[in-house]
Structure formats: structure tokens, C-alpha cells
């Protein structure tokens, strides 16, 4: 498979519009403008594209809900709040291929009837902001953005909105709250953003990677695109691999590539000849997998059968020297810090889980702590307002399930073997 999303990024000038035009950039936009919006949505439906933010919701279905809503104006938001630990897949698009995203957004805006788009960019990406703003200015100059794009009666404006370091704003309704200038706390659903979103108007929120697939789908057609990847999960996928591997990085591979292959073939295997112990397949919000359960196709449909999820495709690899209690403790410190405080199970649950894990890791664990962890997990699971609390609970649950002996050892020996 040739590169689609990371095409041309070895070119040090790839973010420049002229370089993008040289490799056929903005041709899909011209083609899309010759199509009816509903036909564009039809192509996306046929492509089988699913949202790349983590949930894997069919993109065309989301679009058609907003398309069918008769309220105007409608808004298109690109979720560039890439905050899931282990995830750095959108960064190369934002920093090296911004015009692919812009082209995807203009086409998407035209398809759903939105005349204004916002890129909600995480605050921790100052360089991406610079690149993106420059690319947007170039696109205005060349008339790919503006009031009469390419002389047609089609309007689309694009604004970058900088987040300010809150993980929860990756959740779409929290993102909207933040974009409206408020604390980023999730809203109750329904109503869904497709009907009542930003400024109470129909709003489509798609991930950077999702929107960056649109130009290619328009170029080869939905049927052509659907030949890439797995049967019900089509297309290319960006996997970001980090941790104890020889060649960490972002790999563009067909959706459904086997996890073992990603780690041992593409990422060069475990660093310094050590043994694999565990993997987070899609960021720390996805349940951990032990070393003997990595022959799973990395797509949205297959991963739950193996006891985890695809999430953002952020593969975090841990070798035999990594202490799983410590990982769980560090992860819960994160979830506790990022819990928005809106709902009790998450606010209190993450705090409890962190405290118990901290004392186990520090050699102060008590008999019955593992049972206590399970009890807190049970109370949290399915009762949190948004997926953040469930993710924290799921992580602890999977850690105890696969590495219970390490927890027991910490409590029994009153220390962590890895601590000096």
C-alpha cells in the first residue's frame, strides 16, 4: 500500500501548498465541487470510513444526520486535541501535511453544508499551530478557502482554536464547551452534536486522521477505498508505536494489521533483545494485553474479541523490566488529574484508585487492596458520565486480570522489585 496520509512527508517542504499541489493536492476538491453533497456522502458511505478518534463510528452516518438537519448555520470541527497518552499520529499530518487536512475539511464542509470550520488544536502543539496557520493563509491566498472558493458560489472559512491542556476536551461535547469559552465538561447526550452542537447548531466533529482520508476517497471513489484494510474496517490506519521497541514512530498500514506484526516487524521488535511483557494497543484508555495475546487484527471490530479496543491505535510496548503496578499507578495519576469533576464515580473513583495503587507501589499495600480496587472498579464501570472514568476503571481491571501476581507480590514483599 502506497502512503495516503503520510504521502510526501519525507520532503522537508511538504507543508507548503506548492509542494502539495505538485503531488496532485486539491484535485479532489475540484472533483468534489462537481458532485452533489449527497453523492459525496454516498461515496463516504461506500468507502466504509470509520472515525479515527477512537470510537470508530461510521463517518457517513454521522454526516448524514447533520446533513438532514434543517437548521443553519452548521459547523464542522476538526478534533486535533490529540491527548491520549501514547498517541502522536495526528502530529505528522498537522505538522507535515496540513493541506491534506484543509482539503478534507473543505470537502466535508461542502458535503454537510457547513461554511465555517474550526480546528480544535491541543495547546501542547505550538509548532503545529504555526504550520497550520501558515497553511490556512496559503489556502486563502490560492482561493481554496474563502467566500467564493475557486470562483464557485461555495464558502468555507477555517479558524484554529487552541486548547489549553485539558485531556477531557478530546471528548466531543467537552470540546464544544471549551470552544464556546467554558470549562471543558462533557454535555449529556442526547441531543447529539450533529443536531445541537457548537453554539446549539448542527455540528460535525471528526478527528484529524478521519478528515485527512476524505480527499483520497473522493479521488479513487468509495469502492476503491474500501479495498484497503479489513472488511468492515476499511482504509489506511496510522499506528503510533512507543515504549520499549527498536523503532518507535508513526506507521501508516492497512487497517487490521496484526498487532504482533506492528511490534515485531514494523517497529523492529523489543529494544535491547528483552522480552515482551504487555501492550496497550490503543493508548492507556484501552485495556492492556499480555504478551501472549497480540495476534489480533488492529481494527475497531476485531479488538473487542481479544479483550481490548483499537482506540487511537497508540501501541505502547512494555518489556519484562517494566513494573505493571507502577504503570497502573502512573496511568491513574493521569486520569485523576484529567477527571473534569462533573460526575461522582469518575471524580471520586479515579482518586481512590490512584491512592490505593500509590500505596501498593510504595510498599504500603494492605491485604485486601486488590479486592478493594476491584470493588471501586465495579462501582465506576458503566456509571461514569463520559468514557474517561470507564477507561480508568477498564485499565485497572485489565491490569489485575493479567498481572494479579505482581500486585500480590508488591503487597506481600512490601516493595516494588524495580524500585531501588
Partner 1 sequence: MFNETVLKEIDEIKGRYPDFRSALLPALYVAQREFGWLSHEAMSYVARTLNLPEAMVRGTASFYSMFKHKEAGRHLIQLCTNVSCMILGAERLVDFLRTKYGMEPDNTTQDGRFSLVIMECIGACGTAPAMLVNTDFYDNLTEGKIEEILDKYK
Which residues form the interface with partner 1 (CB under 8 A)? 73, 82-88, 91, 122-127, 159, 161-167, 178-184, 199, 240-244, 248-250, 280, 284, 314, 316, 318, 322, 326-327, 330-331, 334, 337-338, 340
Give CA angle at 46 (42, 52), nearest 5°.
Answer: 100
Angle at 333 between CA 328 and CA 338, to 5 degrees: 125
Nearer to partner 1, 63 or 167 (CB): 167
Closest to partner 1 by CB, 320 or 371: 320
Q: What angle do CA 381, 89, 248 make, to 5 degrees?
A: 100
Nearer residue to partner 1 within complex by CB, 242 or 302: 242
Looking at the Cβ atoms of 75 and 144, the one nearer to partner 1 is: 75
CB of 48 to partner 1, least distance (A): 28
Q: Which is nearer to partner 1, 120 or 225 (CB)?
A: 120
Q: What are the φ/ψ torsions at residue 91 (nearest 5 degrees)? A: -60, -45
Task: Closer to partner 1 by CB, 57 or 127: give it.
Answer: 127
Q: How far is the CB of 187 from partner 1 (least distance, A)?
A: 15
Min dist CB 246 to partner 1, Å, is 12
Residue among 41 and 324 whose Cβ is closer to partner 1: 324
Query: Shortest approach of partner 1 to residue 38 CB, angstroms?
Result: 26
DSSP for 347-368, please give it.
HHHHHHHHHHHHHHHTT---TT
324 SS3 class: helix
Minimal distance, residue 116 CB to partner 1, in Å: 8
By beta-carbon proximity to partner 1, the closer residue of 243 and 254 is: 243
**Do the Cβ atoms of 66 and 204 come closer than 8 Å?**
yes
Q: Tell me how far, at minimum, the Cβ of 399 lies from partner 1, in Å.
A: 12
How far apart are alpha carbons 126 and 3 in whole angstroms?
26
Q: In whole angstroms, give the CA distance from residue 298 to residue 309.
A: 8
Residues 6 or more apart in contact with residue 387 via CB below 8 angstroms:
171, 285
Q: Are 202 and 194 in contact (CB under 8 A)?
A: yes
Smallest distance from partner 1 to CB 95, Å: 10
In whole angstroms, give the CA distance from residue 377 to residue 249.
Answer: 33
Shortest Å distance, C-beta 326 to partner 1: 8
- Closest CB to partner 1 among residues 244, 255: 244
Dihedral, CA of residue 42, residue 44, residue 49 and residue 52, to nearest 10:
-130
Q: Which is nearer to partner 1, 84 or 390 (CB)?
A: 84
Least distance (Å) between residue 408 CB and partner 1: 22
Q: What minimum distance in Å lies between the beta carbon of 316 and partner 1? A: 6
State the distance between the two ends of the chain, measured CA to CA, in whole angstroms: 47
Residue 73: asked if its preceding bond is cis (omega within 30°), the reply is: yes
Instruction: Count Cβ atoms within 10 A of the Cβ of residue 93 and give its class: 0-12 exposed, 13-18 middle, 19 or more buried.
Output: buried
Q: Are 25 and 17 in contact (CB under 8 A)?
A: yes
Q: Could you tell me if 7 and 19 are in contact, meaning their C-beta atoms sit under 8 angstroms apart?
A: no
Phi-psi region of 123 (alpha: psi -120 to 50; beta: other; left: phi over 0): alpha
Is the Cβ–Cβ distance between 239 and 251 less than 8 Å? yes
CA–CA gap between residue 80 and residue 26 (Å, rounded): 21
Amino acid at each position: 500500500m502506497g502512503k495516503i496520509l503520510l504521502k510526501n512527508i519525507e520532503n522537508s517542504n511538504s507543508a507548503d501548498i506548492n509542494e502539495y499541489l505538485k503531488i496532485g493536492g486539491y484535485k479532489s476538491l475540484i472533483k468534489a465541487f462537481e458532485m452533489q453533497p449527497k453523492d459525496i456522502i454516498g461515496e463516504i458511505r461506500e468507502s466504509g470510513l470509520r472515525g479515527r478518534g477512537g470510537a470508530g463510528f461510521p463517518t457517513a452516518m454521522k454526516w448524514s444526520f447533520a446533513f438532514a438537519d434543517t437548521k443553519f448555520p452548521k459547523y464542522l470541527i476538526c478534533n486535533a486535541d490529540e491527548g491520549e497518552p501514547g498517541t502522536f499520529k495526528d502530529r505528522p499530518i498537522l505538522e507535515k501535511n496540513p493541506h491534506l487536512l484543509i482539503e478534507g475539511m473543505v470537502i466535508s464542509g461542502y458535503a454537510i453544508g457547513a461554511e465555517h470550520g474550526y480546528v480544535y488544536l491541543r495547546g501542547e502543539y505550538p509548532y503545529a499551530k504555526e504550520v497550520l496557520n501558515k497553511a490556512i493563509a496559503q489556502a486563502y491566498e490560492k482561493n481554496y478557502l474563502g467566500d467564493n472558493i475557486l470562483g464557485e458560489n461555495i464558502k468555507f472559512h477555517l479558524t484554529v482554536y487552541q486548547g489549553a491542556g485539558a485531556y477531557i476536551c478530546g471528548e466531543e461535547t467537552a470540546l464544544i464547551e471549551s470552544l464556546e469559552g467554558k470549562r471543558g465538561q462533557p454535555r449529556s447526550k442526547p441531543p447529539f452534536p450533529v443536531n445541537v452542537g457548537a453554539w446549539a447548531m448542527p455540528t460535525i466533529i471528526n478527528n484529524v486522521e478521519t478528515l485527512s482520508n476524505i480527499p483520497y476517497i473522493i479521488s479513487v471513489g468509495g469502492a476503491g477505498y474500501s479495498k484497503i484494510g479489513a472488511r468492515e474496517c476499511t482504509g489506511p490506519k496510522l499506528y503510533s508505536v512507543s515504549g520499549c521497541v527498536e523503532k518507535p514512530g508513526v506507521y501508516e498500514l492497512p487497517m487490521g494489521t496484526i498487532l504482533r506484526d506492528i511490534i515485531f516487524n514494523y517497529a523492529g521488535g523489543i529494544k535491547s533483545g528483552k522480552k515482551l511483557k504487555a501492550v496497550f494497543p490503543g493508548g492507556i484508555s484501552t485495556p492492556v494485553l499480555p504478551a501472549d495475546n497480540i495476534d489480533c487484527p488492529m481494527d475497531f471490530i476485531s479488538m473487542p474479541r481479544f479483550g481490548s479496543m483499537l482506540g487511537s491505535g497508540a501501541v505502547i510496548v512494555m518489556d519484562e523490566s517494566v513494573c505493571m503496578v507502577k504503570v497502573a499507578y502512573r496511568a491513574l495519576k493521569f486520569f485523576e488529574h484529567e477527571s473534569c469533576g462533573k460526575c461522582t464515580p469518575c471524580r471520586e473513583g479515579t482518586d481512590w484508585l490512584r491512592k490505593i495503587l500509590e500505596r501498593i507501589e510504595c510498599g504500603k499495600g494492605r491485604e485486601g487492596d486488590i479486592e478493594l480496587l476491584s470493588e471501586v472498579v465495579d462501582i465506576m464501570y458503566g456509571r461514569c458520565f463520559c468514557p474517561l472514568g470507564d477507561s480508568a476503571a477498564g485499565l485497572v481491571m485489565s491490569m489485575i486480570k493479567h498481572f494479579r501476581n505482581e500486585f500480590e507480590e508488591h503487597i506481600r514483599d512490601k516493595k516494588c522489585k524495580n524500585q531501588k
